[in-house]
Structure 1
Amino acid sequence: MSASTLARGVAVGDPSVLFRGAVSVQPGPPGPDGRPLWWAPWRVPYEEAELHLPEGGVGRAAMPSGVRISLRSDSRWLRCRYQADPAPVLNGPQERPRLDVRVDGRLLRTVRLRADGGDQEFEVPLGGQRRDRLVELWLPTYNQFRLRLLEVETRWQPDERRRPRWVHYGSSISQGRGAASPSTAWHALVAESAGWDLTSLALGAACHMQPMTARLMRDLPAEVLTACVGINSQALGSLGPETFTAAVIGFVRTVRERHPVTPLMMMSTIYAPDRESVAGPSGLTIEDCRARTARAVELLRAAGDLHVHYLDGLKIFGPSDAELMLEPLSIERLHPGPAGHHLFAERFLDHLGMVPSLIARVSA
């Protein structure tokens, strides 16, 4: 695909050759030449987004957390025209619209995007010499993003690496809230270190173990499955003492319909100092949610599912790590800050490495 062809508007028959980690890619309205004016990555099937989030918050699924534009080229520069929408106003420090440019696995530059919904453009030098490079643009975690044009000086090829596919589900903690930039969120660091192909289903304020999310996780190809559950259900009261354990079991059993032996790690939420022993709207504390997640996994294993595992969130980010949280003491503390994401990734990898069946499956 030549630069001149791309200049007419990302004329790719199958846009998935560019977007890695997207569940679907929405074409924009046709331009004068009949081709879409833009392409927007989604983390649910965009045609049925409201079925996944019928009570609102659909925009979170259009925020490309963990999504990469990935290609190979010997170009000495890359030019990107895009549209990005403003991030929602959040409790605590606000998220900034950033995009990471990585070359051959190394962070080359973090680009501060303009998120006003209009056409914007940036250009990045990739190196003074012409040589084959893997170029990845890690898209913003809290801004909807539409690719208008991607231009290089020479021809490019899609990223055809075959790596173990990792699908992760979670809340804003897993969406990347508090990371310094998209590729330094904990899930991105884990994927890069482990050599995994990440698809993130994490949606801030929308991790309630919904049946539609379980169906989506069931239907996605994966060699590794993980989920971090509890914080949204407790804070918003979507699940109570009589339903939380059953919801975990039902979620896992739905996923198992097409992933009967895929390693599946169910992780309870990390340390939440202002909610540990405080009951939410439905009567559950975070301590309760951890105990019920562990109980659900225990019951599933007793019923014969030896490929599901429990990970205590306090082992990943506990009370002694509170100083690494994003929010100051005056605001409810829920999310790791930039340094906390690095610590989270390191410990998460260590604990996954303790699961022999997971290592055997991924290495096969």
Structure 2
Amino acid sequence: MPVKRVVAGDDPVLRFRGAVSLQHGPGWVAPWRVPHQEAELHLPEGGIGRAAMPAGVRVTLRTDSREIGCRYRADPAPRLNGPQERPRLDVVREGRITDTVELRCDGQDAEFLVSGLPERMATIELWLPVYHQFRLRALVVDRSATVAYDDRERPRWVHYGSSVSQGRGARSPARTWPALVAGRAGLDLTSIALGAACCLQPMTARLMRDLPAELLTACVGINIQALGSHSPAAFTSALVGFVATVRERHPTTPFALMSTIIAPDRETVAGPSGLTVRDCRTRTREAVELLRRHGDSNLHYIDGLDVFGPREAGLLLEPEGLDRLHPGPAGHPVLAGRFLAALRRSLCVPVPA
């Protein structure tokens, strides 16, 4: 067997795009989407593991290796309603998916090898699993291969949302709708979308405020309706305050707020605080209009039904009889295309260098 070169997970030649912080353990690196030292402050009632799920995170490098191996440890996903999330990782070469790998996901060390790559210098991205915690131990390349840092710089996009934005239901990590938008628009994605935890928390607003960005977006409403975290009036106030906090360090950055996509089983059903999904859409639009009247001309509203509405209900992940909320594999590309078109209509999309 040919001798290989091992690149440790903490080697500075590797770049963890989309990670907010990196946790270092004995022989491994784990990307987080909040500052991991203060994760409990972001999710004090539990669910911290969602912040350690590397949705949108990719390990990148430049190499001419014909083979790429990965030594890792992945943990099982939580039990979810409807079809379960598969532990998949995408190998992307110069923007094209070359392989989708099914990961071993039992909390034990494992390894995979992808072969047949062209022997010329290219940017390689490993898109990490959306719903499974992941620790990188090392990458493995050909002994004679060149390995270099991925120094490309693209406009930075920070997106906040629920499990719909985290990527539930996509075929694989690079095929979630935020990943597709980022690829088509040439954006550097950081996703701070947390399933069942998109309730306009002040700590999340502070995080979004402090991250560098040339584009800010959020999809809000569905978790607030389901969990009853805000009364109708408090939802509007919380959304205004959330945007105001982000604006402390991003006063003019284009910022698009999208309301909830179609939720057939919740549209007119009141949640614990009395809000229906339709109410959440109305209040999201009204909050944006209020902020624009007070001078925020770079804040824009996107109606979730224009992006993924009743005609797309058949593309939802969950079958009839379950709470239908998430786009399935065929739905993510539709949502991506419509969302990007809405951003372009609002003149929000930064132009890559």
Distance 2:151 2:272 in 1: 47
What's 2:16 paired with? 19
What's 1:81 paired with? 71
What's 1:244 paired with? 235
* SS of residue matched to 1:121: strand
Identical aligned pairs, as a percentage?
64
What's 1:46 paired with? 36
CA contact (8 A) 1:3 1:155 kept: no
Tell me which of 254, 259, 265 is aligned to 2:256: 265
TM-score, normalization by structure 1: 0.94
Which whole-Å deviations, capped at 9, do the CAs of 1:52-106 have from their partners, x for residues lacking one? 0000000000000000011100111011000000000000000010000111111
Distance 1:78 1:258 in 2: 40
What's 1:342 paired with? 333
CA contact (8 A) 1:223 1:362 kept: no
Letter paired with 2:225: Q
Distance 1:330 1:231, change over 3 A: same
Tell me which of 112, 135, 138 is aligned to 1:149: 138
Within the alignment, does 1:171 sit opposite 2:162 as a pair? Answer: yes
Distance 1:11 1:299 in 2: 46
CA contact (8 A) 1:224 1:362 kept: no
Distance 2:302 2:340 in 1: 12
Aligned residues, how many? 349
CA contact (8 A) 1:78 1:126 kept: no
Tell me which of 51, 61, 64 is aligned to 1:61: 51
Letter paired with 1:133: A
* SS of residue matched to 1:243: helix
Within the alignment, does 1:10 sit opposite 2:9 as a pair? Answer: yes
Runs of 4+ in structure 1 deviating by more than 3 angstroms, as ranges, are 2-5, 361-364
Distance 1:3 1:306 in 2: 55
CA RMSD of aligned residues (A): 1.4
Within the alignment, does 1:180 sit opposite 2:171 as a pair? Answer: yes
Within the alignment, does 1:204 sit opposite 2:195 as a pair? Answer: yes
Structure 1 residue 312, shift from structure 2 partner: 0.4
Distance 1:101 1:4 in 2: 19
Which whole-Å deviations, capped at 9, do the CAs of 1:240-287 have from their partners, x for residues lacking one? 112000011000000000000000001001000000000000000000
Within the alignment, does 1:28 sit opposite 2:25 as a pair? Answer: yes
Letter paired with 1:152: V
TM-score, normalization by structure 2: 0.96
What's 2:83 paired with? 93
Segment drifting more, 156-165 vs 196-205: 156-165
Distance 2:351 2:206 in 1: 22
Which whole-Å deviations, capped at 9, do the CAs of 1:17-36 have from their partners, x for residues lacking one? 4210000010013xxxxxxx
Distance 1:355 1:166 in 2: 15
Letter paired with 1:319: P
Structure 1 residue 10, shift from structure 2 partner: 2.9
Structure 1 residue 159, shift from structure 2 partner: 1.1
Which whole-Å deviations, capped at 9, do the CAs of 1:132-164 have from their partners, x for residues lacking one? 011111000000000011111123111111100
* SS of residue matched to 2:189: strand
What's 1:254 paired with? 245
Distance 1:210 1:276 in 2: 24
